[in-house]
Structure 1
């Protein structure tokens, strides 16, 4: 197996330091972020237990990036993601993964990944993209609500067809 195909091993010690076994040096989260950008395969393991900490480290990198500059995730978006944990998390995870992969594929096909031209283009397309995503989200929401209504999953859910004015008045009386 060539060096390019080998997974780079990073060990995390109790003192929270990260050690790159390939270069025999201590590294930072910024260095690991660069490995991600360079698409270099790596794995982070707890030096003592051998536990895989890769996801945890990647989440730390995202948290740092969200704290600096303009965040990707709004508070409302994070609340929405949290609500999906449970019975629908597999569906959301799969959707997000495919959506991000589609963006990466588009970047790769245009040959402009990480270039200023791509950034400028995306900035100019932002209003169009936001409008399209807004339409998509609204259509997805309607599809989801229609599916719930079809199967009668939430008969008392606001906006459910078939709710009589009596049901609404009874609900209002209960609140009073």
Structure 2
């Protein structure tokens, strides 16, 4: 007797769905996961983000991409629920960049900085991996780890700040070059000289 498979379930013997997991958003504001053929919550979507799973949220009727909207909803819930990452001042500054000539550059600058910070976090986590094994935990090991972290963190943060400064200088140079191209007759719009390392 032939078995029927769930709608959206991968075929037997296949390696699973190709591309990102598709979530459909219906007019009743519910999210439907096509991979597991079931409705899910925003908390489930947050778990996918934390697990690093690729997904897209699509409007069930128009197929419009709503992924950013759902991610912003998750951020809003996190910001109002616990200890927020964004201060009121920081949010105000971000809002001021919308519609500004520097909006695209600011987005790129923030994204690169966040990636650098994530890389630093991953390196620290890798160095402390052995400390989470209960068999190897002892007070001396923790003391050595914590004593060794200060110079490592200082070095990593120093690199992070240097990369951030370099990105900002590049952004300044781009703006100056654009201004010089747009307004060649105005003196003083030359890019600032780069500091020698």
TM-score, normalised to structure 1, is 0.63
- Runs of 4+ in structure 1 off by over 6 angstroms are none
Note if 1:71 corresponds to 2:84: yes
Aligned residues: 136
**Counterpart position of 1:33:** 46
1:85 deviates by 1.3
Aligned mates of 2:124, 2:18 — CA distance in 1? 25
**Counterpart position of 2:30:** 17
Gaps in structure 1 of 5+ consecutive residues: 152-176
Aligned mates of 1:89, 1:98 — CA distance in 2? 14
**Counterpart position of 1:59:** 72
Aligned mates of 1:100, 1:9 — CA distance in 2? 26
Instruction: State which structure, 1 or 2, has the greater radius of gyration over its C-alpha atoms.
Output: 2
Note if 1:45 corresponds to 2:58: yes
Gaps in structure 2 of 5+ consecutive residues: 1-13, 133-145, 180-187, 190-197
Note if 1:90 corresponds to 2:100: no
1:4 deviates by 7.3
Q: RMSD of the alignment, in Å?
A: 3.5
Query: Equivalent residue of 2:57, what SS?
Result: strand
Aligned mates of 1:43, 1:7 — CA distance in 2? 6
Residues 101, 3 of structure 1: CA spacing in aligned structure 2 closer, same or farther, 3 A cutoff?
A: farther
Aligned mates of 1:7, 1:92 — CA distance in 2? 27
- Structure with bigger helix share is 1
TM-score, normalised to structure 2, is 0.57
Aligned mates of 2:34, 2:17 — CA distance in 1? 15
**Counterpart position of 2:137:** none
